[in-house]
Amino acid sequence: MMLQVTGVSKRFGGLQALTDVSFELAEGKIMGLIGPNGAGKTTLFNVVNGVFEPEEGKVIFRGEDITGLPSYEVARRGMARAHQVVRPLHELTVRENVMVGACYGREGLSLSAAAVRADEALSQVGLIERGHMLAGSLNVAQKKRLEMARALAARPYLILLDEVLAGLNPSEIDAILDTIRGIRGQGITILMIEHVMQAVMNVSDRVLVLDYGVLIAEGLPQEVVDNPQVIEAYLGDPEMTARLLGE
CATH number of 1-75+157-164+187-247: 3.40.50.300
pLDDT tens-place string over residues 127-161: 999 889 999 898 888 898 899 999 999 999 999 99
At 241, is the pLDDT very low, low, confident or very high (cuts 50, 70, 90)?
Answer: low
Question: Strand 56-61 relative to strand 64-65: parallel, antiparallel, unpaired?
Answer: antiparallel
Q: Which residues contact 101 (CB under 8 A, 6 or more apart)?
A: 80, 118, 121, 149, 150, 151, 152, 153, 154
Q: What angle do CA 213, 192, 141 make, to 5 degrees?
A: 125
| Residue 119, phi then psi, degrees to nearest 5 | -65, -35
At 170, is the pLDDT very low, low, confident or very high (cuts 50, 70, 90)?
Answer: confident
- Supply the mean pLDDT for the chain: 89
Give the pLDDT score at 220: 93
| Burial class of residue 6, CB neighbours in 10 A (0-12, 13-18, 19+) | middle
Residues 78/3, Cβ–Cβ less than 8 Å: no
Q: What is the dihedral of CA 164, 103, 49, 219, to 10 degrees?
A: 50
Q: Residue 192's closest CA among 63, 29, 11, 5?
A: 29
Q: How far is CA 245 from CA 40, 94, 206, 221, 239, in A?
A: 23, 35, 15, 10, 10
**pTM (2 d.p.):** 0.89
Give the pLDDT score at 230: 83
pLDDT tens-place string over residues 58-89: 999 999 999 999 999 999 999 999 887 777 78
pLDDT tens-place string over residues 5-62: 999 999 999 899 999 999 999 999 999 999 888 889 999 999 999 999 999 999 999 9
229 pLDDT exceeds 70?
Answer: yes
Residue boundaries of the structural domains of the chain: 1-75+157-164+187-247, 79-155
pLDDT tens-place string over residues 183-193: 999 899 999 99
Angle in degrees, 0-180, between the axes of helices 94-103 and 111-125, rounded to the nearest 10: 120
Give the pLDDT score at 196: 80
Q: 211 by DSSP, 3-state: which?
A: strand
Q: Which residues contact 242 (CB under 8 A, 6 or more apart)?
A: none
Give the pLDDT score at 168: 83
At 244, is the pLDDT very low, low, confident or very high (cuts 50, 70, 90)?
Answer: very low
